[in-house]
Amino acid sequence: MIMKPLFSLLLISSLVALNGVAMAQDGVKVGDMSLFRKLAPTGAMEGQAAQQYLQTMQQAQQKHALAPDNHPQVIRLRAIAAKLKPFALRWNERASQWNWEVNLLGSKQINAYCMPGGKIAFYSGILTTLKLTDDEVAIVMGHEIAHALREHGAARAGKSMVANFGVRLAEVVAGVKGYDPHLAGSVAGGVANLGMLKFSRDDETEADVIGLDIAARAGYDPRAGVALWQKMGMASKGAPPQWLSTHPAGKNRIAEIQRHLPEVMPLYAHAKGADLNAMSPYLSNVKGIAPVDYP
């Protein structure tokens, strides 16, 4: 008589524990951060980034290219960032110590970035040329924040140190064996450069995936990523082939986003308090881009 209630209690406790694990592991799954980042001190990277960011903003202000705090687009960007930041901590606890900044630079460039330490900059060109909706801004911003959270800059610096050492070693070995060290160095350098491009594409893919997760938890539609990269494809005709680019090809990025929608759409539905199976398609504000549905 005692064993039955005890067994039931243990079963319920186990289910609760398993449910807790499932909840803790919801969203996208990525591997551990690169060990190469440990070759470049994180604190130093963040300090350098803060100085560089300050200099960039000062130069922009001197050229009257820094949007003021009361600019509607600055207000918009900072409001979106405020919604995203709480969901950054699960990816890097250091983010709670960052002195986050968000600014807008007047430029036709289709670009945005987030430096180590949470220093975010958007160029007006990416907003106006692509006619970004709030959901699409959140996808871009989540992607850039993910780079900082995963310390991709520090990892690339570490990889570069290792690659440079490899080139020097190839030159030394070639010299010892009687070969032209400059030729050996050039060959090794070419291989290293292709390797760095591949590393960079991997970083971009990881940032895409984590950015979707962050945006979805903040209540922004992850399906906007599909429309975003369709817009980007319209604006970047003539881009270099994927194997010579630091960014994956647009079609590949769209396919990757679609592959992860089953992981992030439930997060978005939960944030919106909506029924996942009854959600309307994501509608782009640009003609020629079809509604993005799920599933």
Token pair for 111:
């670009």
Which residues, in sequence order, are CB contacts of 161 under 8 Å at separation 6+? 39, 40
Angle of helix 152-176 versus helix 42-62 axis, rounded to 10: 110
Residue environment code for 143-169, b if the CB has 16+ CB neighbours within 10 A, otherwise e = bbbbbbbbbbbbbbbbbbeebeebbee
* Secondary structure (3-state) at 81: helix
Q: Residues near 127 by Cβ (< 8 Å), separated by ≥ 6?
A: 73, 104, 137
For residue 120 the two structure tokens come to 């975010």
- Residue 85: both structure tokens together: 């930041």
Please pick, among 46, 101, 136, 144, the residue that the annotation labels catalytic. Answer: 144
Whether 206 sits among the annotated catalytic residues: the reply is no
Strand partners, 102: 120
* CA pair distance 10, 31, nearest whole angstrom: 33
Active site residues: 144
